[in-house]
Amino acid sequence: MVSPVTVVKSEGPKLVPFFKATCVYFVLWLPTSSPSWFSALIKCLPIVCLWVFLLAHGIGFLVAHSSARKILAGLIFSALGDAFLIWQEQGYFSHGLLMFAVTHILYSSAFGMKPLNLPVGSVIAAVSGLSYTLLYPYLSGPFTYLVGVYIALIGFMGWRAMAGVRLADDLWTWTQMSACVGAVLFMVSDLTIAVNKFCFPVPHSRAIIMATYYAAQMLIALSAVECQYADASQKRG
């Protein structure tokens, strides 16, 4: 397994623009009550920096590895979803939901179906079912089924991200762990959004949502470079 120190030295500089853009978002902290294209740009900029992070590994890298391409495509749809959610009070919440649903489908495909790890899938299914059960009394109209479908999709993505991390057998890599933690943070972020929007106000909800969201996207983007280190190991072998 590649040393985490090696990874930090190699990938850290490529993530500097992302960290700077994230700091800009939290420093400016533009009000959501007055949406604008500028606020949409500031919100989307960290995700755009993650596009640059993946592109910095080279077009050849993306062409050779479908999982990296799918994660890049997921980040693109995520940025679109972020932009729609800026205007959610103007009726664009469902549009943002759709963009992120596509994102989770792409991420799930990138993570793949091996290993299957049904015990993890069962736990995620139970957590997803419980989440929907708690939200259901507060949902109405199209959101009754839209939220249910979305929970199923993000739960499936979480399962596929977590399935590769088998700690008991010591069969995991740092990038698999990155995807796993990223998926968990994404689910925390989206559950906070749902509770805050449909159930009751969550204290400091915006800070919780965005901090976990940006961290999740960074970790998932990092998981895309697993194949780069795998290729390097094979060449040395």
Q: What is the DSSP string of 78-92?
A: HHHHHHHHHTGGGTT
Q: Cβ atoms within 10 A of the Cβ of 94, count?
A: 14
- Residue whose tokens read 């999740």: 216
- Distance, C-alpha 117 to centroid of its chain: 21
Task: Classify 124 as helix, strand or coil.
Answer: helix
Q: What is the residue-level pLDDT of the chain in tens, covering all 237 positions? A: 566 677 778 899 999 999 999 999 999 999 888 899 999 999 999 999 999 999 999 999 999 999 999 999 999 999 999 999 999 999 999 999 999 999 999 999 999 999 999 999 999 999 999 999 999 999 999 999 999 999 999 999 999 999 988 666 655 678 889 999 999 999 999 999 999 999 999 999 999 999 999 999 999 999 998 766 655 554 555
Tokens found for residue 211: 């901090």
Give the CA distances from residue 169 to residues 112, 114, 184, 222, 226, in Å, rounded to whole numbers and listed in that order.
20, 15, 21, 23, 19
Q: Cβ atoms within 10 A of the Cβ of 207, count?
A: 12
pTM: 0.94
Tokens found for residue 128: 């997803």
Residues paired with 166 in a beta bridge: 171
